[in-house]
Amino acid sequence: MNLVEIYFKMKKDVQYIEDELEKSIDTEVRELYQSSTHLLKAGGKRIRPVFVLLGGKWGNYDIKKLKHVAVPLELIHMATLVHDDVIDDADKRRGRETVRTKWDNKVAMYAGDYILARALAIAAQLPIPQLHRILAHAMVEVCKGEIEQVKDLNNWNQNFRTYLRRIKRKTALLIAISCQMGAVASGAAEEIVRKMYWYGYNVGMAFQITDDILDFTGTEKQLGKPAGSDLLNGNITLPALYAAHHGRSREQFQTWIAEEMFWDHVHEAVQMVRNDEGIGFSQRLAERYIARARAILADLPDNQAKTSLLGIADFIIERKF
Amino acid sequence: MNLVEIYFKMKKDVQYIEDELEKSIDTEVRELYQSSTHLLKAGGKRIRPVFVLLGGKWGNYDIKKLKHVAVPLELIHMATLVHDDVIDDADKRRGRETVRTKWDNKVAMYAGDYILARALAIAAQLPIPQLHRILAHAMVEVCKGEIEQVKDLNNWNQNFRTYLRRIKRKTALLIAISCQMGAVASGAAEEIVRKMYWYGYNVGMAFQITDDILDFTGTEKQLGKPAGSDLLNGNITLPALYAAHHGRSREQFQTWIAEEMFWDHVHEAVQMVRNDEGIGFSQRLAERYIARARAILADLPDNQAKTSLLGIADFIIERKF
Report pLDDT digits (tens) over A292-308. 999 999 999 999 999 99
C-alpha distances in Å from residue A131, one per residue of A68, B67, B86, B127, B140: 10, 21, 31, 10, 19
Closest by CA position to B90, among listed A38, A91, A147, A152:
A91
Q: Shortest CB distance from A117 goes to which of B94, B136, B150?
A: B136
pTM (predicted TM-score): 0.85
- Distance in angstroms (rounded) separating the CA atoms of residues B171 and B168: 6
Residue numbers in B near A132 (CB within 8 A):
120, 124, 129, 132
CA distance B124 to chain A (A): 5
pLDDT higher for A74 or B41? A74
Q: Shortest CB distance from A87 goes to which of B106, B116, B139?
A: B106
Residue numbers in B near A118 (CB within 8 A):
140
Residues A131, A181: contact at Cβ < 8 Å? yes
Closest by CA position to B238, among listed B49, B321, B246:
B246
Q: Shortest CB distance from B124 goes to which of A29, A106, A136?
A: A136
Residue B144 forms contact with A (CB below 8 Å): yes
Phi and psi (nearest 5°) for A96?
Answer: -110, 0
Q: Rg for chain B (alpha carbons), in Å?
A: 20
Phi and psi (nearest 5°) for B158?
Answer: -135, 155
Neighbours of A224 (CB within 10 A): 9
Q: Which of residues 6-45 of B touch A (CB under 8 A)?
A: 27, 29, 31-32
Residue A295 forms contact with B (CB below 8 Å): no
Percent of chain A with pLDDT over 70: 89
Exposed / middle / buried, residue B227 (Cβ in 10 Å: 0-12, 13-18, 19+): buried
Residues B76, B123: contact at Cβ < 8 Å? no
Asked if B114 lies within 8 A of A31 by C-beta distance, the reply is no
Report pLDDT digits (tens) over A120-152. 999 999 999 999 999 999 999 998 888 888 888
Asked if B150 lies within 8 A of A103 by C-beta distance, the reply is yes
Which portions of chain B are predicted below pLDDT 70?
1, 28, 31, 38-39, 41-43, 86-105, 320-321
Q: Which of residues 148-187 of B touch A (CB under 8 A)?
A: 148, 150-151
Asked if A106 lies within 8 A of B139 by C-beta distance, the reply is no
pLDDT at site B175: 97
Report pLDDT digits (tens) over A221-238. 777 778 898 999 889 999
Mean pLDDT of A151-167: 92
Residue A157 has pLDDT above 80, yes or no: yes
At A37, is the pLDDT very low, low, confident or very high (cuts 50, 70, 90)?
Answer: confident
C-alpha distances in Å from residue B61, one per residue of A204, B114, B282: 44, 29, 37
- Distance in angstroms (rounded) separating the CA atoms of residues A204 and A209: 9
Asked if A148 lies within 8 A of B120 by C-beta distance, the reply is no
Residue A321 has pLDDT above 70, yes or no: no
Residue numbers in A near B26 (CB within 8 A):
none
Residue numbers in B near A75 (CB within 8 A):
none
Mean pLDDT of A177-197: 98
Q: Which residue in B has a C-alpha nearest to residue A118's C-alpha?
A: B140
Q: Which CATH number is associated with domain A3-318?
A: 1.10.600.10
Residue numbers in A near B33 (CB within 8 A):
none
Neighbours of A70 (CB within 10 A): 31
Secondary structure (3-state) at B224: coil
Helix H or strand E encompassing A100: none
Q: Which of residues 101-120 of A touch B (CB under 8 A)?
A: 102-103, 105-107, 109-111, 113-114, 116-118, 120
Residue of A83, A100, A144, A154 to mutate, testing the B interface (most B Cβ within 10 Å of its Cβ) = A144
- Distance in angstroms (rounded) separating the CA atoms of residues B92 and B311: 39
DSSP state of B236: -
Q: Which residue in A has a C-alpha nearest to residue B88's C-alpha?
A: A106
pLDDT higher for B107 or A157? A157
Report pLDDT digits (tens) over A250-298. 999 999 999 989 989 999 999 999 999 999 999 999 999 999 999 999 9
Residue of A31, A83, A147, A150 to mutate, testing the B interface (most B Cβ within 10 Å of its Cβ) = A147
Mean pLDDT of A75-100: 59
pLDDT at site A286: 97
Asked if B117 lies within 8 A of A136 by C-beta distance, the reply is yes
- Looking at chain B, list the stretches that DSSP marks H as alpha helix, in order from N- to C-terminal side: 3-9, 11-24, 30-41, 47-56, 63-94, 102-124, 129-151, 160-167, 173-185, 190-217, 220-223, 229-232, 238-245, 250-258, 266-274, 277-297, 304-318
Residues A174, A136: contact at Cβ < 8 Å? no
DSSP state of B152: T
Residue A18 has pLDDT above 60, yes or no: yes
Q: Shortest CB distance from B113 goes to which of A83, A90, A106?
A: A83
pLDDT at site B60: 97
Residues B203, B312: contact at Cβ < 8 Å? yes
pLDDT at site A90: 41
- Distance in angstroms (rounded) separating the CA atoms of residues B17 and B209: 28
Q: Shortest CB distance from A143 goes to which of B103, B114, B124?
A: B114
Residues 6+ apart with CB under 8 A from A176: A197, A198, A200, A201, A204
pLDDT higher for B34 or A119? A119
| Number of residues written out for chain B | 321
Q: How many CA atoms lie within 13 A of A224 on its CB side?
A: 2
pLDDT at site A42: 63
Residues B242, B282: contact at Cβ < 8 Å? yes
CA distance A126 to chain B (A): 8
- Distance in angstroms (rounded) separating the CA atoms of residues B309 and B297: 8
Report pLDDT digits (tens) over B269-298. 999 999 999 999 999 999 999 999 999 999
- Distance in angstroms (rounded) separating the CA atoms of residues B239 and A14: 51
Angle subtended at Cα A74 by Cα B149 and Cα A169, rounded to the nearest 5 degrees: 95
Looking at the predicted complex, does its ipTM rise above 0.85?
no
Residue A296 identity (one-letter amino acid): I
Asked if B142 lies within 8 A of A111 by C-beta distance, the reply is no
Secondary structure (3-state) at A241: helix
Closest by CA position to B25, among listed B15, B16, B17, B33:
B33
Q: Which of residues 53-92 of B touch A (CB under 8 A)?
A: 83, 86-87, 90-91
With b for 16 or more beta-carbon neighbours within 10 A and e for fewer, the B137-176 pattern comes to bbbbbbbbbbbbbbbbeeebebeeebbbebbbbbbbbbbb
SS3 readout for B61-114? CCHHHHHHHHHHHHHHHHHHHHHHHHHHHHHHHHCCCCCCCHHHHHHHHHHHHH
